[in-house]
Structure 1
Amino acid sequence: MPLANCKTVTRTLSDKLDRALTLRERARVRVHLLGCNGCRAYASQLAALRLLAHSVAGHIETPSSQTDE
């Protein structure tokens, strides 16, 4: 299995938002992320944006949206 480059990994991470990745794709991304700070940061930013989008859409509760009883 050839190593993935940053362009391929960032595209695959973006694809992950729309569909399930194959086992091969997940493995390539995981191996690449072990050695690439930039792609790890990108993956973290995507996760944060996804969480924020779900929060704004009302799909999850955030600590600030919970009411005190």
Structure 2
Amino acid sequence: MMSCHQATQLLSEKLDRPLDTKEKIALGVHTTMCPPCRRFAQQMEELRSISKRYMKDPDVK
């Protein structure tokens, strides 16, 4: 079973590189059973979305 530390590391790496099949499966199993890691994944996606919007138009507040 993957630890939360390993899961958050993979969630972060997922933003920079494609995960291999084994990593995707292990991460999927972990986040299905772990609400805090699921929440972390949602927060990471939201931060990425905010950053993209800012980079597109830095004057938007």
**Structure 2: where are the runs of 5+ without partners?**
none
* More helix as a share of residues: 2
Partner SS, residue 57 of structure 1 = helix
Distance 1:24 1:53 in 2: 29
RMSD over aligned Cα atoms: 1.4
Q: Which of 4, 16, 19 is 2:17 aligned to?
A: 19
Q: CA deviation at 1:53?
A: 0.4
Distance 2:9 2:31 in 1: 13
Of structures 1 and 2, the one with the larger relative CO (CA 8 A, separation 6+) is 2
**Structure 1: where are the runs of 5+ without partners?**
60-64
Task: Tell me what 1:57 maps to.
Answer: 55
Q: CA deviation at 1:21?
A: 0.4
Q: Percent identity?
A: 33
Q: Which has the larger radius of gyration?
A: 1
Distance 2:21 2:56 in 1: 31
Partner SS, residue 18 of structure 1 = coil
TM-score of the superposition, structure 2-length normalised?
0.89
